[in-house]
Structure 1
Amino acid sequence: MTPDWKQSVVYQIYPKSFCSAHGQATGDLAGVTARLDYLHWLGVDWLWLTPIYVSPQRDNGYDVADYRAIDPRYGDMADFERLVTEAGRRGMGVMLDIVVNHTSTEHAWFQAARQSRDNPWRDFYLWRDAPNTWQSKFGGSAWEYDPLAGQYYLHLFDTSQADLNWDHPPLRQAVFDMMRFWLDKGVRGFRLDVINLISKPADFPDDDSDGRRFYTDGPHVHDHLQQMHREVFAGRDVLTVGEMSSTSLAHCIRYSHPDQHELSMTFNFHHLKVDYPDGHKWVAARYDFIALKRILSTWQEGMHAGGGWNAIFWCNHDQPRVLSRFGDAGAYRVQSAKLLATALHGLQGTPYVYQGEEIGMTNPDFAEITQYRDVETLNAHRLLLAGGVPEAEVMAAIRQKSRDNARTPMQWDASEHAGFSGEAPWIELAPNWREVNVAAQRDDPDSVLHHYRRLIALRKQHPVLVDGDYLCLTPDHSALWVYLRRTPNATLVVACNFSGETVGDTLPSLGTLAAAGNARVLIANHPDTPALGAELHLRPWEAVMWLA
C-alpha cells in the first residue's frame, strides 16, 4: 500500500515572514492559524514550520536555545496547540523543524558544558585543545575558543551554533526524548536540519580541505538514524524528511529506503548548485540548464531504481526564489512560474511548496547591504570585501544568492505591508507586492495560484504521478525539458520550454504515443494547447502535461 505522504504535498512556512495576527514586525503562530483556510483551499496536506523555539535568532531560529519552549516572538504553547488542532480539523498535519546537529551557545546544555571538563554536559559538545583546518559553512574556522571552557568547540555553521556530540549516548537520549515530547503534542512529522552532518570522526582528521569530506554522511550517521527510528518513530504514523548537505545518491537511497528504517524521504541540493561557477556560491552567474536536467534526471532514475524517495522542491528559506533564478521574472513571469511548477510537480517524489512560490513571488533585488538581515549574507559581504572583491560584484552576487531573497514577507494583498502585518515588517517587502499577491490571484482562474492548486489536485488523482518511472527525452537540448512518467497502465508526458523563444523538436516516441489516440491535456500554461504529436513546437515558456 502506498503511504499517504507519497501522494501528498507539503507547504513550507517561514513563520517570521508568513503572517502577523498581532500587528507586529514579525509573523506569529496565530497568523499561521488565521491562514489555515487558505492552505486547506490550496489543497496541501502538511505544514512544515521552520523553527519556532526559543532562540537568540542569530540564524533566524536555527540556533535553538530551548527545544521545548515557543519563542515569545511567535506566541506561546497554547498558540501552538491551537494551530495543531485547527490544522488537524482541516486534514493537515504539522511538521516541526528539528535542529539537532547543533544548538545555540545560549542553550542551557552549552552553558553548563562550559563550566568544567568533568561535568555531565561537557560531552554533549565537541571540544579540542587546538583547532584543525576544518572551515565553517558560514566562513572562517569551524572552531571557536571559549575562555571559560579553556578549549575550542566545533561549529560547522555560525560561531553561536555549537555542534552536538552524537557519539555520546546521553545526548542521543535527550534528543529522542525531546522529539517524543512534540509527538505527544500532536505533531505528525519532522524535517531534520542538516541531519547527515551529525556524525563526526572521533579523531577529527586534518588535511588541506575544509573538512566536509570527513563529516558529510559521517561514520555512524545511519546507526544514529536507525536508533532514532526505533526509539521515536516506530509504531507511529510520522512523516520524516532529512535535509542532506553535500550528500550522495547512494546514501539517500539508504536514508529513505523503507527496509532501512531511517527516514521517509530526503532533500538533496545538487540541482540548486547549477549557478555556482566552479562550486563558488557568492558569484553572480547564469545557471546551467543542461546540468539542471542531468542532475534531476540522475536522482529521479537512481532513487526510483534503488527504492528510495525524493523530496522534490525548487525553493525554501535558504534558496533564492526560483522564478528569479530559473525563470523569467519580467515579461513572462506568469508563464514561467507555471512552467516551473509543472516541471517539478510532474516528477516522482513528494513536492514541497515554499510560501509565496504558489503566487510567483520573486527576489526583492535589494540594492544596499543594509537591507539584508541574514547572517550568512552579512558574513559573505564582509569576507568578500576583505578579500578584495569589488563592492559591485559582491552586491550582484548577494542580490542573486542571498537567503533573504526567500525571507521577505508573504504577499497577501495590496494593502499596506501586503496584508502581512499592521506595522512595518522586520525585512522590507519585495517591490512588486501590490501586483503579486494572493488576493489578486484568488479570483483569477488563470493565475499562478490556481495553476498550483490544480497541480496539487492532480497528484491525488493520477497514480502515474506517484508510481511512474522517469525517462528524459531531451537531455542535451538547450531549451526543452521533455520527460515521461510511466506505469503499465499510463504514460505521462511533461514538456517544458525554458526559454523566451518558440522552440521545436521531433521526438518519435511522442508520435508513437499520439498514434494510440487517447492522449489528453491534463494541464497547460498557454491557451489552445496543441494535441500531442511527434513534432513538438512550444511557445515561450510553454509547459504541458499530456496523459496517454
Structure 2
Amino acid sequence: MTDREWWKEAVVYQIYPRSFNDSTGDGIGDIPGIVEKVDYLEALGVDVVWLNPVYESPMEDNGYDIADYRAIHPQFGTMDDWERLLEELHDRDMRLIMDLVVNHTSDRHEWFVRSREGDEEYADHYVWRPGDGGTGGEGTSSSESTSSAQSNPPNNWESFFGGSAWRYDHEREAYFLHLYDESQPDLNWDEPAVREDVYEMMSWWLEKGIDGFRMDVINLISKPEGLPDGDPDASGLPVGAEQYVNGPDLEAYLSEMYENALADYDAMTVGETVGMEAEEAPRYIGDERALNMAIHFEHVNVDRGEGGKYDPVDLDLVELKQIFTRWQNALAEEGWNCLYFSNHDQPRTVSRFGDDGEYREESATMLATVLCTLQGTPFVYQGQEIGMTNTTFEDRSDVEDVWAQNFVDEALASGEYDSFEEVRPLLEECSRDNARTPMQWSDGPNAGFTEGEPWIDVADDADEITVEAARADPDSIWHYYRDLFALRDDHETLVYGEYELLLPDHPEVFAYERTLEDERLLVVCNFFDGEPGVDLPLEATAADRLIGNYETEPTLGETVELRPYEACVYRLS
C-alpha cells in the first residue's frame, strides 16, 4: 500500500469563479459569491476547493494571463474577501488550492513591461529572439505589434491557440515566445532570477495559508537550447511541442521548486502535464518532487482525431480502458493519479462521454462511479454533480473563449467552412465555453447565478437542471455523488487498493477489481445504451452491492445482464 496522505483521501471540487456565483449583480461570479456557497460545498462532502485564477489580469484568457500574482482582480473582490473564503473553508475542515500559472504571464505584468523596455534586471525574464519583424507602425504592446504571420519568426513553433508561437515587439525590436495567446509571453525558466521570483511568490501564498497549487501546463516550462524547429508530423500537438514537452531541465526545475518553495509545507501539488505519457510520469511525480499528481490528457483525447480539439471521433472504450490502466499501473507505487472527466477546458462530462438526453442521469452517475472508484484523487468540476450539459451558440458573438474564437477565424479563412452555422456543431461539441456557462442554482432568472446580465449565457436547460431540484430529489445525480464520496471514506480499498482490469477487450463494459488486504471490491460500468451480458472471471462465493445507479441490482452470477449506462460496486467474499 502506498503512503497515506490527506490529499490522496480527498475529493477536490473545482470552482471557475467567473461562472460560480455572483454576489454583486454585475454578471460575473466573485469570491464573496463563493463564500455564500461554502455550506453547499460542505453538504456535498468535498474536501478541497481548487480555485481557478482570481489574480489581477486583463482577462484575455479569462485569468490565465496574470498581471500581478499577489493581487486579486477587482471583479472578483478584494484580498480581504479571499482571506475570508480561506477562513470559511478551513473552519469547515476544507482546504484551498490555488492555480499557479508560471509558464507565462500577461504582457501587462510588470516583469514583461520592464523586460520589453530592456531593464537589465528583467531583460532575460522572457524568451526573446532577434529577427525581421516585417513592416508596421510603432507599438507599445503585443496587441499593437506586427503580426508574426507577416514576418519571419525565429522557428516554426505554433501556438496551442492557433498560428505562430512568436510575436514581434517593436519596442524591444525582437520576437517573444507565446505558446498560448499572443498576450501571454512565456517566461524564460533558464534565467535563475525568474525561478527565484516564482519560488518567492509561491512561498508568499503558502505563508498566507493555502494548502497547495494546481500548476498550469507545468511540464512546458523548460525549452531546449537553440529552440530548434519542430517536426510538423511529430504529434497531435502544435508544431514544435515535441521540443519542449517535458523539456531538458524540467526534472531539475521541479526538484529545485520543491526544495525552494514546497519542502517546508504539507501542500498538495497537482501538475497539468500536456502530452505526458504514463511511463514518463514517475520521473516527475513523487516524493521530494514538486508534483504529487498529474493532470494528463490521454483519456480526454481518446475521442479526438488527428485534427486535435475540434476533431471529434467516436469513443473507443477499449482504448479508454487501456489508457486508464496504463496510468493506474504506472503510478501504483510512485506518484498518484488525478482523476477527472471535465474541467474548465473540457466540454461537459455527460454530453461528451455519456448521453445528455434520455439517459442523462444514468450516464452521469455511471461516469461518477468510475471517477470515484479508480485509484487516485477525484476532481469534480462545478455543475458536474448535477449533470450540467453542453450549450448552444446561436451567433458568433456568443463565443467567449479565445481558443474557440481563433478556431472559428481559422476555419472560415481556410475555406473549409463557408459560414458560422457550419462551424457551430463543432463548437457545441468541443468548445471550452461549454464548461463555462453559469452554475445552475435554481430555475429563477439566469439560473440563480446573478441578478444582472451574465457574462456568458446560461445553458439552454438551465431551468430544468438545477442544484435546488437535485438536492430535493433523493435519487438525483447530486445525492449519488454524495454517496460515492461517503463510500470512499468508508472503504480505504477505493483509495489505496490495488487495481486489476477485467474484460479488457469488451467494447461496452469497463470492469475492474480493487483489492486491499482482505477486502475485494468489484466495479462494473456499462458505457453505452445497450444491454450487454458479460461473463466476469470471478472467484467469489457472494457479492454485496455497495452502490448502484438503478433501484434494483442485476444478478451477479455467471452472466451479468446490464442495463443502459448501469454502474455497480460490489464487495466480494
Q: Same fold (TM over 0.5)?
A: yes
3-state DSSP of counterpart to 1:482? strand
Residue of structure 2 equivalent to 1:77: 79
Partners of 2:387 and 2:326 in 1: CA distance: 27
Give 3-state SS (helix, strand or coil) of 1:228's partner. Answer: helix
Query: What is the alpha-carbon distance in structure 2 between the residues aligned to residue 211 and residue 321 of structure 1?
Result: 29
> What is the aligned partner in structure 2 of residue 223 from structure 1?
252
Q: CA deviation at 1:86?
A: 0.6
- The 8 Å contact of residues 480 and 498 in structure 1, kept in 2 or not, is answered as yes
Local SS of the residue matching 1:205: coil
Query: After superposition, what is the alpha-carbon deviation per residue over 1:429-481, rounded to whole angstroms, capped at 9, x for unaligned?
Result: 01111110100011211000000001111111111101112122122212111
When normalised by structure 1's length, the TM-score is 0.97
1:400 corresponds to = 429
User: Bigger CA drift: 75-84 or 198-207?
Assistant: 198-207
Tell me, yes or no, if the aligned pair for 2:502 and 2:537 is still in contact at 8 Å: no
- 1:303 positional shift: 1.5
Query: SS state of the match for residue 60, structure 1?
Result: coil
Q: Which residue of 2 aligns with 1:110?
A: 112
Q: 1:293 to 1:393 in 2, by over 3 A?
A: farther
- Give 3-state SS (helix, strand or coil) of 2:423's partner: helix
Contact between 1:364 and 1:431, CA under 8 Å: does it hold in 2? yes
Are 1:542 and 2:570 counterparts? Answer: no
Equivalent residue, structure 2, for 1:191: 214
Unpaired stretches in structure 1, ≥5 consecutive residues: none
Q: Is structure 2 residue 199 aligned with structure 1 residue 176?
A: yes
In 2, Cα distance between equivalents of 1:287 and 1:368: 29
> In 1, Cα distance between the equivalents of 2:170 and 2:123?
15
Alpha-carbon separation, structure 1, partners of 2:161 and 2:72: 26
Question: Hey, what's the Cα distance between the residues in 1 that align with 2:307 and 2:319?
Answer: 13
- 2: CA distance between counterparts of 1:291 and 1:212? 23
2:342 aligned partner, one-letter code: C
**Per-residue Cα deviation, 1:501-541 (whole angstroms, up to 9, x for no partner):** 211111232xx22x2x2x21111000111343231111111
Q: CA deviation at 1:347?
A: 0.4
323, 340, 345: which one pairs with 2:350? 323
Q: What is the aligned partner in structure 2 of residue 521 from structure 1?
A: 545
The aligned amino acid for 1:70 is I
For residue 250 of structure 1, report the CA deviation from its aligned partner. Answer: 3.0
How far is 1:207 from its partner? Answer: 4.1
Cα offset, 1:366, TM superposition? 2.3
Cα distance per residue 1:316-355 (max 9 Å; x no partner): 0000001000100001111111001001211000000000
Aligned counterparts, 1:107-256, within 5 A: 107-116=109-118, 119-130=120-131, 131-209=154-232, 210-256=239-285
Identity %: 47
Q: d(CA) in 2 for partners of 1:184 and 1:301? A: 35
Shift of 1:24: 1.7
CA RMSD of aligned residues (A): 1.2
The aligned amino acid for 1:470 is Y
Bigger mean CA deviation after superposition, 275-284 or 129-138: 275-284
User: Normalized per residue, which structure has more helix?
Assistant: 1
Partner of 2:149: none
- 1:11-90 equivalence runs, <5 A: 11-90=13-92
Counterpart mapping for 1:430-445 below 5 A: 430-445=459-474
Q: Matched residues in 1 for 2:60 and 2:499: separation?
A: 42
Aligned to 2:324: 296
- How far apart, CA to CA, are the structure 2 residues paired with 1:410 and 1:61? 18
Q: Is the 8 A contact 1:413 1:440 kept in 2?
A: yes
Equivalent in the alignment of 2:303:
275
Cα deviation code 1:406-449 (max 9, x no counterpart)? 00000001111111111121000011111101000112110000
Counterpart of 2:328 in 1: which secondary structure?
A: helix
Measure the CA separation in 1 of the matches of 2:403 and 2:19. Answer: 18
Equivalent position amino acid for 2:13 in 1: Y
2:477 corresponds to which letter in structure 1?
Answer: V
Indicate which of 96, 99, 111 corresponds to 1:97. Answer: 99
Contact 1:367/1:399 (8 A) holds in 2:
no
Q: CA deviation at 1:393?
A: 4.3
Separation in structure 2 between the aligned mates of residue 17 and residue 358 of structure 1, nearest angstrom: 15
Q: Report how far residue 287 of structure 1 moved.
A: 2.3
How far is the alpha carbon of 1:257 from its aligned partner? 1.9
Deviation digits for residues 32-73 of structure 1 (CA, Å, limit 9, x no counterpart): 000000001111111000000000100000000010000000
What letter is aligned with 1:530?
P
2:378 to 345, 351, 371: 351
| Partner amino acid, structure 2, of 1:10 | V
Task: Give deviations 1:111-142, integer Å, cap 9, x for gaps.
Answer: 110112x6211110001113201111101111
Cα offsets for 1:86-106 (capped at 9, x unmatched)? 110011111100000000001
Instruction: Measure the CA separation in 2 of the matches of 1:160 and 1:434.
Output: 37
Show the counterpart of 2:392: 365
Residue range with higher mean Cα deviation, 473-482 or 86-95: 473-482
Tell which deviates more after alignment, 366-375 or 441-450.
366-375
- 2:185 aligned counterpart, secondary structure: strand
Q: Which residue of 2 aligns with 1:332?
A: 359
In the TM superposition, residue 388 of structure 1 has moved relative to its aligned partner by 1.5
Per the alignment, residue 335 of structure 2 pairs with 308
Q: CA shift at 1:264, angstroms?
A: 1.1
Q: Check conservation: 1:65, 1:106, Cα contact below 8 A.
A: yes
Partner of 2:235: none
Shift of 1:261: 2.5
**Alpha carbons 2:400, 2:456 under 8 Å: kept:** yes
2:522 pairs, out of 482, 485, 493, with 493
Listed as ranges, the gaps of 5+ residues in structure 2 are 132-153, 233-238
Inter-partner Cα distance in structure 1 for 2:258 and 2:166 = 31
Secondary structure of 1:385's aligned partner: helix
What residue identity is the alignment partner of 1:442?
A: R
Contact 1:255 / 1:265 at 8 angstroms: preserved in 2?
Answer: no
